[in-house]
Structure 1
Amino acid sequence: MNYQELSKEVSYALRHAPSEYGLSLDENGWVDVQELLKALKENNKGASIELNDLISMIEASDKKRHEIVGDKIRALYGHTIPSPIKKEIGEPPEYLYHGTARRFVESIKEKGLLSQERQHVHLSVDEDTAYEVGKRRDEKPVILKIKAKLAFMNGVSFFKGNDKVWLSNSINSEYIEFH
């Protein structure tokens, strides 16, 4: 089984288009595992995907996009669905990082970091991860250093996505160091 392809499909179903799969996420983004398996089978015209495949997919991923707890599964971050997914506020580390295309820097200086089409701004715990994320849109991305702890102390909400990703609704430019 190609776990990377399965991860992409599960991400699409849980982050972007649950209604296309006949799924209804609860307010925290959870859906019953058996409902997801049934939807994946119907979408793949009979492909046999089992719970163990989902578990192996999650274990094989270095990005930790999904989690299973009990009989429920959810995507941890990256949602574009219109209904907001509730997240628990957490205290971030002193600094977080965001990799972005050079063409967006002036707009970020003016408006700060905005979630755009996603529900949250995605921030990385280290510069290397931010660089890899930024390379998706620019071969020489700019790495922004976010004064996360200061922003948090001043009322900006942060949410832990996973061990490498933190989320926020937006980050004002006063908390961003441009290099």
Structure 2
Amino acid sequence: MSDLSRAVSHALRHEPWVFELELDADGWTSLDSLVEALRREPAWSALDVKGVVEMVAGASKKRHEIEGDRIRALYGHSVPGRISKTPMAPPNLLFHGTSPRSSRTILIDGLWPMERQYVHLSVDRETAREVGRRKSPDPVVLAIDAQRAHHEGARFYRGNDRVWLADSVRSYFIAELPPA
């Protein structure tokens, strides 16, 4: 199922045009269109809507959402234009895992979305550490005073139950945590 999740994520987050998919302003596309596009790939020639629905329902990390006959990725977009999100009050504290080198820059310049549309933050330290391991075998975990940042104007959006998004986070809301 993880290969299917990766294929769906790629189509919905990064290159919908390669799959001839149209995303609306909120990132939704037709479930039938997605299945039809993926079926053009030999690995997915037998894919049906039921298979995508089962993958989304059984995923340990909630990356996609199905509503009626539509599907979208919840976060991680790098498509041109911006997928609209509704601002929400975040938890008091959020976390960001990164490499030691990047942490030095973040502590000076703050967090910016880089190639993505939003900054990705984790709800717990361990999830942030897992994310940071993608960038370094010895990641640094940063704590974000999200509640204070929110009260001072930073906008946050709920990605799913483990991921929050932000437009950016200024450096004075960020602190490096000691290694666990």
- Cα offset, 1:113, TM superposition: 0.6
TM-score (norm 2): 0.96
CA distance in 1, matches of 2:132, 2:48: 34
How many corresponding residue pairs?
Answer: 177
Deviation at 1:59, TM superposition (A): 2.1
- Shift of residue 87, structure 1, vs aligned partner: 0.3
**Matched ranges for 1:1-40 at <5 A:** 3-40=1-38
Shift of 1:44: 3.1
- Contact 2:107/2:175 (8 A) holds in 1: no
Task: Map Cα deviations across residues 85-113 of structure 1 (whole Å, 9 max, x no partner).
Answer: 00011110000000000011221122101
Q: Which amino acid aligns with 1:75?
A: A
Classify the secondary structure of the residue corresponding to 1:78: coil
Label 1:178 to 1:45 Cα distance change in 2 as closer, same or farther (>3 A): closer
Q: Deviations over 1:18-38 (max 9, x none)?
A: 000000100000000011111
Gaps of 5+ in 2: none
Secondary structure of 2:95's match? strand
Q: Residue 169 of structure 1: CA displacement?
A: 1.0
Distance 1:172 1:80 in 2: 22
* Whole-angstrom CA distance in 1 between matches of 2:94 and 2:42: 39
Q: CA deviation at 1:12?
A: 0.3
Q: 2:142 and 2:50 mapped to 1: Cα distance?
A: 39
Deviating beyond 3 angstroms after TM superposition, the runs of 4 or more aligned structure 1 residues are: none
Equivalent residue runs for 1:78-117 within 5 Å:
78-117=76-115
Indicate how the Cα distance of structure 1 residues 140 and 46 shifts in structure 2: closer, same or farther if over 3 A, else same. closer
Partner of 1:159: 157
Q: Measure, in 1, the Cα distance between the counterparts of 2:43 and 2:9.
A: 18
Tell me how far 1:149 sits from its aligned partner. Answer: 0.6
CA RMSD of aligned residues (A): 1.0
| TM-score normalised by the chain length of structure 1 | 0.96
Deviation at 1:46, TM superposition (A): 6.5
Q: What SS does the aligned partner of 1:119 have?
A: coil
Moved more, 95-104 or 106-115: 106-115
Give SS of 1:149's match: helix
> Which stretches in structure 1 are left out of the alignment for 5+ residues?
none
Distance in 2, Cα, partners of 1:59 & 1:84: 26
- 1:124-171 Cα distance to aligned partner (Å, 9 max, x none): 000010000000010110000000011001110000000000000110
Tell me how far apart the structure 2 counterparts of residues 109 and 66 of structure 1 sit (CA, whole Å): 31
Alignment match, 1:147: 145
Identity over the aligned pairs, expressed in percent? 44
Conservation of the 8 A alpha-carbon contact between 1:21 and 1:43:
no
Cα distance change, pair 46–75 in 1 and its aligned pair in 2 (3 A): closer
Structure 1 residues 125 and 46, CA gap change in structure 2 (3 angstroms): closer
Q: CA deviation at 1:45?
A: 7.0
Equivalent in the alignment of 1:131: 129
